[in-house]
Amino acid sequence: MLESPNGSKDGVLKYVQPTLIQEAPAVACKCKSTQKRVTLSRSFSEATLRNLKEEFPADFASPLAGEGFPPFDRYDLGQRVTNPVQTPRNILITGGAGFIGSYVTRKLVLLYPEYYIVNVDLLDYCGSLKSLELIENAPNYTFVRGDITSSDFMNFILREKNIDTIIHLAAQTHVDNSFGDSFEFTKNNVMGTHVLLEAAKVNNIQRFIHVSTDEVYGEVSRSSPDCHEESILAPSNPYSATKAAAECLVKAYHKSFGLPTIITRSNNVYGPYQYPEKICSKFICSLVNKKKCFIHGDGSNSRRYLYAADVADALDLIAHNGEIGEVYNIGSQFEITNLKLAYKLIEQFHPQEPPQEYLEFVQDRAFNDRRYAVDSSKLEKLGWNPRTPFDFGLEKTIAWYREHGNTWWGDISCALVPHPLKKIPDALIH
């Protein structure tokens, strides 16, 4: 909520702790929508979608935001974890200005005002503090720009801020870029994790949550069962190989030094604030800019999708109730081929035109896995289930990119090419 310094309704607004935000209604005030209504498919019941949209309108001003702040969606916060087993107090989030990291950071800062959240992020090309403007002056939040590969820096942060819990999201994540500069992925994803583990060991961290990916399992055929947490790791590209290597370090520190670690592996994630190098956001930004969607190969590769707020819910639950030493898959059952996803999005932008006009088939990506599939039953037993139907999340995502896609990161043209194998130019790193 916002108050003036003198307690009156006039004067300069300042941030105060939102102690009841977890119980708040959907909005404080409406703002005029400038977005075209998106027609939903019937993948989920119309009643379910209607109820969600009535409870959480897509377009509204934040009850915590002044003029100039981006729209804030109460739906994305979810709820606090009830009856937590572990109660963290000082939490370090690495990569908190990134896509998933920003959802986790906003959620923890706003729903747990009694916690202190420290966000360490290097702010490379896909990170943005704009996604955290809402909480930048929160009394229980601090942002520090820094490199997780620096041992001195990480030890200083853990000691200075008396950190007891780490949620480690910082990583290089784009598969195509890993073919162009694999050493950078090894440096950030493996060395960065190793530095953080050593600092955690020295500083007696109570809980270390390492965020990994379902790609460490490798390709999963349609005739094979979904991967469970004990499935063999078989990464097929430099990115997933570095994530698997980082996992091995995490497990080794748990077994060798008793470090209280937990590993998560999630499937593809979509939603507002995602840099458009991943397929869903890339297709949307291409269509916003009246460009074609590039289809690698024949488009039959499929992925399962989770809305980013659902992943934040999972990490929140695991931070409080996850069992030390365990691995948790975070996945959905909604699966769609790349070609069908493109058709679905083209229909929203150009409903009266042939979809083929906005498709361009190009050479397949190097070692493009056909599909991934994970079994999340272990996490479901903790009480987690994805709460966002794909069509509902997609509507929210499209609306956000229509409004912000061309201004959030500056020039995104290098991300919209079909095969971005080279490292992002330094000129685009801010």
Asked if 67 is an active-site residue, the reply is no
Asked if 160 is an active-site residue, the reply is no
Asked if 147 is an active-site residue, the reply is no
Find the catalytic residue in 239, 253, 275, 305. 239
Find the catalytic residue in 164, 176, 215, 335. 215
SS (H, E, C) the chain: CEECCCCCCCCCCEECCCCCHHHCCCCCEECCCCCCCCCCCCCCCHHHHHHHHHHCCCCEECCCCCCCCCCCCHHHHCCCCCCCCCCCCEEEEECCCCHHHHHHHHHHHHHCCCCEEEEEECCCCCCCHHHHHHHCCCCCEEEEECCCCCHHHHHHHHHHCCCCEEEECCCCCCHHHHHHCHHHHHHHHHHHHHHHHHHHHHCCCCEEEEEEEHHHHCCCCCCCCCECCCCCCCCCCHHHHHHHHHHHHHHHHHHHHCCCEEEEEECEEECCCCCCCCHHHHHHHHHHCCCCEEEECCCCCEEEEEEHHHHHHHHHHHHHHCCCCCEEEECCCCEEEHHHHHHHHHHHHCCCCCHHHHEEEECCCCCCCCCCCECCHHHHHHCCCCCCCHHHHHHHHHHHHHHHCCCCCCCCHHHCCCCCCCCCCHHHCC
Find the catalytic residue in 214, 226, 316, 391. 214
Just list the catalytic residues: 214-215, 239
